[in-house]
Amino acid sequence: MKRFLLVFIAFFIYQTIGFAQNNCLFRNPLCFYNTDILSYLQVLHKNQDDEKMSRFFYGPFATQKNNASFIKKLTLSDFGYSLKRVGVKEIAKNKWSLTYQRTIMGTHENFKIECAVINDTCRIYIDLKQWEVIFK
């Protein structure tokens, strides 16, 4: 009985350590609280947490503006449409191309975004063209 208990405890510790090392929260576009990155950002937008939302973007559009004006632009953007991820393609080791389908007034439309891991957090590349694609 003692051996069984020791084996069980050793197995439990091994699984716990393995889980801690493989925990991928925010490290790829599919590990955002059991959802994907754009759906997570949509929840932040609906909760009016635009400052927290702004941290998940990188690229010329996010960096050329000062942070306050970028947050204001996020606040005024239209991001309440129905959204569903329909495709994932890994471009490089820490880069992905995600395909989404949105439904606006009964019309389905597909669009793509590019994500990359920067400082252990997955972020969406945003320039003026991507801004107009995402925040239509």
Give me the residue spans of the domains in the chain. 26-134
Going by the DSSP 8-state scheme, the letter that residue 65 receives in this structure is S
* Section 28-50 average pLDDT: 84
Tokens of 88: 């994932």
Decide if pLDDT at 115 tops 60.
yes
Report the pLDDT value the prediction gives residue 67, as an integer from 0 to 100: 82
DSSP for 18-37? HHHHH--TTTSTT-BTTB-H
**∠56-126-41 over CA atoms, to 5°?**
35
Q: Which residues pair with 90 in a beta bridge?
A: 96
Quick: pLDDT tens for 59-109. 998 887 678 888 999 999 988 888 888 988 989 988 999 999 998 888 899
Report the pLDDT value the prediction gives residue 95, as an integer from 0 to 100: 92
Model confidence at 49, pLDDT cuts 50, 70, 90, reads very high
* Section 9-28 average pLDDT: 54
Quick: pLDDT tens for 78-91. 888 888 889 889 89
Length of the chain: 136
- CATH class, domain 26-134, is alpha beta
Outline where the chain has alpha helix (H): 2-22, 37-46, 50-54, 60-64, 67-76, 128-134
- DSSP β-ladder status, 57-58 and 121-125: parallel
Give the CB-side neighbour count of residue 103, counting CA atoms within 13 A: 6
> Average pLDDT over the chain, rounded to whole?
82
